[in-house]
């Protein structure tokens, strides 16, 4: 009996764990959608202009539902309208019991009591097809519009009974609203961006990529665009020491395999999560098939996507798909007693993972990284040309303008590669969203122009943010979700770009587009003749600067500018950003050169190429003038009330910023309770069988 009971308990805990995992990310909208619509004006629910969980179709349905209620009293009808329209609130996922609920949780306390107000105003008013019918509490389909009208007093004995059914607390915890008070949810204005960022210069090299060593040590890998990777040692905070890196002895040198130019080179690297055990690492680079016999692959311009390579314009004598995007696997095995202690890797390919012929010579992305799910993510641009002429980014038959997700731990057979049409040696994760006819199964998300630097939040892995470089007007940051469509080339950020494809069909009718959470117009950073190119960064999760903790940091390549973005309320997907000044500490291990025309406090970073993050979660800036690390604010005399200035190590805990575990949504609690009751019945049944 005990063994059977333990099995039952295991089943119960597993189910609840899956439930919790699925419900703790706090969707933006009550129907679990993560996107908000920014391009439509609502006629009925006009309080929710701009960011909203409704489109015009949703708005019309709510209006029809409201009209069918035939409410005679003006005050009551006004309250009912606000309650129906709460579905359109950009944070509606926080105050609806679940996505089948017709009515939000109504605030019911001495501070905010919408529930009592509604009862007092509407208790004797007839409502046709009342949304407050007790039969709807279990998520049942709403009654037809021809059903009899009823009042609240017909359905409930008292205000107490009514508010027990629909009311909830008005208190807030961790900036997350728990009930609807009749008004659109406002942002939490108590959250403030940091007053500035203090950095120190720890290296003079110019690198394009930084990856923390997977063994958890204070080491990190750095790579440059020509094709070299180095292994460096990051000094402790406040040590006064520079980074240790020997550029004369790279970890690996594949410059003979890489085609290097302004637009080409080694664009990314990734080390297997179990590198310390298996020694596997990967490089993403461009090759030239004219110069390298091994540089060959299928052209992204092909008959499947109505593209003829022979008709593409020649660029400086280069043939279409002369240049390829390549992901190759390498190893550090055999160079040391274990991969973790290896100081060099082998420059010969273990296998070619992926090859894609490029139609043009720009906008080809190239970053690779392992996600928290263990899969390899590859970011591809739209292939260049004149504003994605062939509409590759919106075409699910094309791998261009996409986030790809590959399984490099399970290698397919030769026949499987042929059958599946794979572009290399990898398998397809079973959960990838586009696995069917006329779709490339590698695609995880689509509609990107030129994604440049994506990252997963180390504390909330469901937050996968990518910066996407714009064309003429707008630079953007997107929350990447499986199956998401981010709009290019129908939209450039929030702006309509081109509603027609080159083949004549209207692509503006594409639905469920996801709009950026952050971004800026080129006019805001046009100090360099209008040039702008966004650089994606990280959520700051280090203990070093508690006033930056939880902010998302990103920058612009040309403008020597950086932004800190704050999500408010937490879990909402609603971000506001502030351009923040940065200073260089006077006791920086390597002296910082002052920015031209500045006061000497701002460092001359040159071009900001990328951000990096080490195993302590400290954030680094990779620039043309060197490597900079964010340090505690007091080293630059920046005010930060959360910093413990009495500490000498710079490893302070961020006061009051450690996220609290979020409670289960009430619908999840109900389901877990049902599972628990089932467990008790199962235990009783097993007991009977045992005896």
For the stretch 506-528, pLDDT in tens is 777 787 899 999 999 998 886 55
How many angstroms separate the CA atoms of 397 and 679, rounded? 47
Lookup: tokens for 482? 């499986």
Q: Omega of the bond prior to 691 within 30 degrees of 0, cis?
A: no
Q: What is the DSSP letter of 37?
A: B
pLDDT at 148: 72
Q: 386: Cβ–Cβ under 8 A, 6 or more apart, which residues?
A: none
pLDDT 10s digits, 258-305: 999 989 999 999 999 999 999 999 999 999 999 988 898 899 999 999
Q: Concatenate the DSSP letters of all residues of 124-159 into one string.
A: TS-EET-TT-GGGTTTPPPPPTTSPEE-HHHH-SSH
* Contact indicator for 391, 503 with CB cutoff of 8 Å: yes
Mean pLDDT for the chain? 84
pLDDT at 345: 97
Lookup: tokens for 440? 């490339």
Strands 451-456 and 464-468: antiparallel
Q: What is the DSSP letter of 456?
A: E
Kindly list the distances between the CA atom of residue 686 and the CA atoms of 15, 361, 394, 681, in Å, as whole numbers in the listed order: 19, 68, 55, 9
Strands 495-496 and 266-271: unpaired
What b/e string do you get for 280-310 counting C-beta neighbours within 10 Å, with b at 16 or more?
bbbbbbbbbbeeeeebebbbbbbeebebeee
Q: What is the torsion angle, in degrees rounded to the nearest 10, for the CA atoms of residue 172, residue 175, residue 181 and residue 184?
A: 180
Q: What is the DSSP letter of 48?
A: S
How many angstroms separate the CA atoms of 348 and 327, rounded? 13
Domains and CATH numbers, the chain: 31-168 (no CATH), 205-636 (2.120.10.30)
Q: Omega of the bond prior to 215 within 30 degrees of 0, cis?
A: no
How many angstroms separate the CA atoms of 561 and 210, rounded? 20
pLDDT 10s digits, 140-177: 444 433 447 889 999 999 999 999 889 887 544 333 45
How many angstroms separate the CA atoms of 675 and 453, rounded? 42
**How far is CA 437 from its chain centroid?**
28
Percent of the chain with pLDDT over 90: 59
How many angstroms separate the CA atoms of 449 and 169, rounded? 45
More confident residue, 222 or 412: 222
* Contact indicator for 197, 548 with CB cutoff of 8 Å: yes
Point out the least confidently predicted range of 86-95, 351-360, 468-477.
86-95
Lookup: tokens for 135? 């039969």
Strand partners for 356: 325
Which H or E run includes 479?
strand 474-479
Lookup: tokens for 617? 């979660």
């Amino acid at each position: 009996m005990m063994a059977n009971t333990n099995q039952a308990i295991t089943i119960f805990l597993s189910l609840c764990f899956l439930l919790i995992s699925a419900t703790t990310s706090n969707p933006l909208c009550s129907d679990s959608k993560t996107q908000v619509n920014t391009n439509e004006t609502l006629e009925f629910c006009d309080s929710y202009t701009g960011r909203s969980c409704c489109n015009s179709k949703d708005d019309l349905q709510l209006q029809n539902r409201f009209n069918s209620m035939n409410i005679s009293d003006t005050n009551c009808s006004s309250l009912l309208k606000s309650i129906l329209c709460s579905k359109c609130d950009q944070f509606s996922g926080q105050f609806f019991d679940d996505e089948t609920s017709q009515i939000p949780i109504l605030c019911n306390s001495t501070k905010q009591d919408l529930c009592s107000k509604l009862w007092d105003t509407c208790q004797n008013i007839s409502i046709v097809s009342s949304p407050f019918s007790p039969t709807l509490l279990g998520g049942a389909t709403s009654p037809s519009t021809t059903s009899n009208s009823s009042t609240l007093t017909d359905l409930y004995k008292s205000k107490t009974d009514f508010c027990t059914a629909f009311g909830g607390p008005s208190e807030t915890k961790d900036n997350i609203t728990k009930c609807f008070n009749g008004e659109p949810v406002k942002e939490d204005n108590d959250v403030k961006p940091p007053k500035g960022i203090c950095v120190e210069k720890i290296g003079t090299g110019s690198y394009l990529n930084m990856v923390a060593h997977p063994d958890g040590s204070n080491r990190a890998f750095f790579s440059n665009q020509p094709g070299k990777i180095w292994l460096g040692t990051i000094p402790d905070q406040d040590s006064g020491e520079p980074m240790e890196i020997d550029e004369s002895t790279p970890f690996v040198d594949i410059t003979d395999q890489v085609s290097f130019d302004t637009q080409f080179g080694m664009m990314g690297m990734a080390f297997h999560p179990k590198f310390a055990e298996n020694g596997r690492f990967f490089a993403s680079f461009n090759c030239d098939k004219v110069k390298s016999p091994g540089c060959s692959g299928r052209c992204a311009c092909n008959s499947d996507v109505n593209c003829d390579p022979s008709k593409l314009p020649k660029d400086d004598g280069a043939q279409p798909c002369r240049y390829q995007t390549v992901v190759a696997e390498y190893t550090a095995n055999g160079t040391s007693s274990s991969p973790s202690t290896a100081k060099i890797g082998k420059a010969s390919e273990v296998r070619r993972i992926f090859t894609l012929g490029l139609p043009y010579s720009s906008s080809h992305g190239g970053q690779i990284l392992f996600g928290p799910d263990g899969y390899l993510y590859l970011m591809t641009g739209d292939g260049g040309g004149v504003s994605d002429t062939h509409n590759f980014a919106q075409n699910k038959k094309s791998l261009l303008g996409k986030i790809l997700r590959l399984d490099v731990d399970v290698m397919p057979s030769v026949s499987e590669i042929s059958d599946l049409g794979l572009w290399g040696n990898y398998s397809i994760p079973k959960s990838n969203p586009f696995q069917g006819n006329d779709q490339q199964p590698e695609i995880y998300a689509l509609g990107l122009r030129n994604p440049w630097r994506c990252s997963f939040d180390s504390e909330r892995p469901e937050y996968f943010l990518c910066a996407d470089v714009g064309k003429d007007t707008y630079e953007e940051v997107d929350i990447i979700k499986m199956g998401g469509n981010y709009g290019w080339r129908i939209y450039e950020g929030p702006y309509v770009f081109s509603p027609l494809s080159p083949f004549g069909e209207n692509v503006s009718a594409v639905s469920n587009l996801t709009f950026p959470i952050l971004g800026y117009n080129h006019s805001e950073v046009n100090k360099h003749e209008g040039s702008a190119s966004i650089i994606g960064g990280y959520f700051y999760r280090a203990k070093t600067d508690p006033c930056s903790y939880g902010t998302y940091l990103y920058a612009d390549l040309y403008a020597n500018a950086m932004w800190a973005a704050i999500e408010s309320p937490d879990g909402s997907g609603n971000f506001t950003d502030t351009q923040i000044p940065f200073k260089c500490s006077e006791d920086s291990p390597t002296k910082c050169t002052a920015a031209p025309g500045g006061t000497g406090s701002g460092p001359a970073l040159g071009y900001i190429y990328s951000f990096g993050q080490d195993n302590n979660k400290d954030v680094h800036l990779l620039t043309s003038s060197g490597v900079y690390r964010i340090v505690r604010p007091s080293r630059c005399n920046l005010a930060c009330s959360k910093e413990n200035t009495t500490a000498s190590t710079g490893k302070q805990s961020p006061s009051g910023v450690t996220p609290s575990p979020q409670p289960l949504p009430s619908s999840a609690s109900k389901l877990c309770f049902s599972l628990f009751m089932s467990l008790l019945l199962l235990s009783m049944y097993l007991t009977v069988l045992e005896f």
